Structure 1
């Protein structure tokens, strides 16, 4: 039973997080049936930053290098990511989306945004802005 504002917020966040995990899983599988949500998140990050050292990705996601390495190997096998020599350090590599990876990630992200847009057709721009602002505030605290 929800008894107060803090409990109501906790409850709604729990529901949102469960639904978000489901959406992430579905979105990842829309890129490739074998893709896990964590690996999809790597693709999105590479789409945002362009390219990255594996160690920077591991630090960003707070995961170990062996875990990242397994995910990257899968992404390479699926043809979604490629490695390039780091121009600033000949011993290092940088990861970037392959042309196929770029195309599939853009399509998946566009479809995800469209689904959200379709569900929020009755919301005003002010309501969406207010929710985005409040979520941004919460994310900054967390």
Structure 2
């Protein structure tokens, strides 16, 4: 049953905790945004930072059509096309024939794309390790466990909302 339709008794204390979490998440997102902005909007190779999300998806999810990337990244196809063209021009992504439909093409990471991705990942990990350097190991492990749990809960909720929306659309 979708979270939006089930009846759940939530106490005032739980709502207060949820409010505090909401404020901390907003603070977190702002801090991450500022940290990213401090890096610059373009990487050393001249590629928009936002385009790296395409590279991430292609490395983790395999070759994809532009339309699927746009859906996954909640972006317009024109934005994905522009950013992926830049990735292709820089040799980080290549276009391949779609084996299911020869008229279409798939975007896939190149070996250089994988190298650049891994370098960016190494830099991110170095930064995070520095931020957490004075935390006890137990706290770092707990943070990872709780963030994974929060992400899973949010992803499940999103799927339930989508299922609920599809069911309502069919019933309309």
Give the match's secondary structure for 2:70: helix
2:94 corresponds, among 67, 82, 106, to: 82
Asked if the contact 1:47–1:97 (Cα under 8 Å) also holds between the matched residues in 2, the reply is yes
TM-score by length of structure 2 reads: 0.68
Separation (CA, whole Å) in 2 of partners of 1:71 and 1:78: 11
Q: Per-residue displacement from partner, 1:76-132 (whole Å, max 9, x unpaired)? A: 222221101112221221111222222111101111111111221222332122222
Structure 2 partner of 1:21: 33
Asked if the contact 2:43–2:49 (Cα under 8 Å) also holds between the matched residues in 1, the reply is no
For CA contacts below 8 A with separation 6 or more, give which structure has more relative contact order.
2
Structure 1 partner of 2:117: 105
When Rg is computed on C-alpha atoms for both structures, the one with the higher figure is 2
2:69 corresponds, among 57, 69, 78, to: 57
Please identify runs of 4+ aligned residues in structure 1 that moved more than 4 A: none
Supply the RMSD in Å over aligned alpha carbons: 2.3
Structure 1 partner of 2:54: 42
Give the match's secondary structure for 2:42: helix
Structure 1 partner of 2:169: none
Q: Per-residue displacement from partner, 1:13-50 (whole Å, max 9, x unpaired)? A: 222112222344528634523x3332111111122123
1:32 maps to 2:52: no
Aligned residues: 138
Structure 1 partner of 2:140: 128
TM-score by length of structure 1 reads: 0.80
Separation (CA, whole Å) in 2 of partners of 1:28 and 1:128: 29
